Amino acid sequence: MSDSLTPTPHKRRPRYSGKNPRRFEDKYKEHNPERYAETVEKVIASGKTPAGTHRPIMVVEILDVLAPKSGEIAVDCTLGYGGHAQEILSRITPGGKLLGLDADPIELPKTESRLRALGFGAEIFTAHRSNFAGLQKILADNEIAGADLILADLGVSSMQIDNPARGFSIKFDGPLDMRMNPQRGQPASAFLEKINSNALAKLLVEYADEPHADKIAPEIAGKNFATTKSLANAIRTALPRLNKEDCALSVRRVFQTLRIAVNDEFSALDSFLRNLPACLNPGGRVAILTFHSGEDRRVKKAFAGGHQNGIYSEISHEVIRPTAEEQNSNPRSTSAKLRWARRASE
Ligand SMILES: C[S@@+](CC[C@H](N)C(=O)[O-])C[C@H]1O[C@@H](n2cnc3c(N)ncnc32)[C@H](O)[C@@H]1O
């Protein structure tokens, strides 16, 4: 700890080859949005996401659906950077409480500190390092009978995607890891090394509708790829006749498949959807943002089933999409689909 008499040692600004830092870890201004608000605004205005942050998607639509009110109990199952949570928190005060869950032990403490610094104390906000598949237990452990509103914004955050060290990035080289919780399970490199070609081809179709699964799988299954770039290059080599754009789409889909598999995302989502009615108070609302068809199909089916058997009194029959304006200003919102449901009153 430094005291006021000890001068802070001067740190030279790192030298970059161009005008601006290009590496994620060197973008020191973007990593300090409170201190360098002007730089952060410029990055956002250019349609990008500042390094180390996440821009919440469909905030207006989600608030409209969840309609948070003072005194209510809320759960953000995918806390991420806390963008949605911050908006909900300011609407459930006074008297309300928000539980923020996230599987990621690296980003969760940072978000907890950020929300504390905004004035949300432990009486209104608590952070839980947990998979949302275990939501029912988290509520029970905290002596909460049910939530009035629940949000799940699926997938990965921009902090995770953009940090090459986490191994999700297609753009920058890093270890082929892709775990939301790097303390559990196996990295994508180990998963790929163990799986056989037929099983991988099946997953590529099932998890990402990959049309070239039969060509890609034999080239990458059972092999050792230590880095994201080495895997991306092998996928491109497997598709010599494909144009650059289609090839880039296949690379994305393979990465999506590995991410879903390594994090067991569909099992977590299925458990969550199954337990959801028991976690909601009568009249409680749930909103789920999905980013690909495998997720949306599951949410749609669970809500339709719950509506049919009377557990949900109302559901969104049509999917809600981000406005054209949001899609333009934040390309990461483009594939988002929002669905909601309301638990029947008893
Ligand atoms: C798209 S981000 C959420 C962004 C957040 N809504 C915001 O405004 O910053 C998704 C987050 O959910 C977390 N996550 C994904 N699947 C999870 C699961 N099964 N259980 C808990 N957290 C999960 C990821 O670690 C990531 O931080």
What does the mean pLDDT of the chain come to?
92
Residue 16 confidence (pLDDT): 64
Gap from CA of 344 to ligand 1 centroid (Å): 27
Question: Could you tell which of 53, 87, 151, 180 is best to mutate to test the pocket of ligand 1, judged by most ligand atoms within 8 Å of the CB?
Answer: 180
Q: Domain of 113?
A: 59-158+276-343
Whether residue 150 sits in one domain with residue 75 = yes
| Residue 39 lies inside a defined structural domain of this protein | yes
Question: Could you tell which of 84, 102, 181 is best to mutate to test the pocket of ligand 1, judged by most ligand atoms within 8 Å of the CB?
Answer: 102
Number of structural domains the chain divides into:
3
Neighbours of 10 (CB within 10 A): 5
Gap from CA of 123 to ligand 1 centroid (Å): 23
Ligand 1 pocket (Cβ < 6 Å) reads: 54, 56, 78, 80-84, 101-104, 107, 131-132, 153, 155-157, 180, 268
Collapsed DSSP state (helix, strand, coil) of residue 281: strand
The enclosing domain of 317 has a CATH number of 3.40.50.150
Q: 121: which DSSP letter?
A: -
Atom of ligand 1 nearest to the CA of 85: 8
Whether residue 67 sits in one domain with residue 149 = yes
Gap from CA of 132 to ligand 1 centroid (Å): 9
| Residue 271 lies inside a defined structural domain of this protein | no
Contacts of 124 (CB under 8 A, 6+ apart): 89, 92, 93, 96, 97, 98
**Residue 1 clears pLDDT 60, i.e. is over it:** no
| Residue 166 lies inside a defined structural domain of this protein | no
4 pLDDT tier (thresholds 50, 70, 90): very low
pLDDT tens for 272-303 read 999 999 999 999 999 999 999 999 999 999 99
pLDDT tens for 193-247 read 999 999 999 999 999 999 999 999 999 999 999 999 999 999 999 999 999 999 9
20 pLDDT tier (thresholds 50, 70, 90): confident
Whole-number Å distance between alpha carbons of 323 and 46: 18
Whether residue 66 sits in one domain with residue 150 = yes
Buried b (16+ CB within 10 A) or exposed e, 55-84: bbbbeebbbebbebeeebbbbbbbbbbbbb
pLDDT tens for 54-70 read 799 999 999 999 999 99
**Residue 2 clears pLDDT 50, i.e. is over it:** no
Whether residue 154 sits in one domain with residue 68 = yes
Atom of ligand 1 nearest to the CA of 133: 19
Whether residue 43 sits in one domain with residue 114 = no
Among 71-80, 154-163, 299-308, which stretch is predicted with the lowest mean pLDDT? 154-163
pTM to 2 decimal places: 0.89
268 pLDDT tier (thresholds 50, 70, 90): very high
Residue 46 confidence (pLDDT): 73
Whether residue 146 sits in one domain with residue 66 = yes
| Residue 104 lies inside a defined structural domain of this protein | yes
Whether residue 247 sits in one domain with residue 100 = no
The structure tokens listed for 35 are 């201190």
Among 80-84, 164-168, 281-285, which stretch is predicted with the lowest mean pLDDT? 164-168
| Residue 267 lies inside a defined structural domain of this protein | no
Q: 117: which DSSP letter?
A: H
Whether residue 235 sits in one domain with residue 202 = yes
The enclosing domain of 215 has a CATH number of 1.10.150
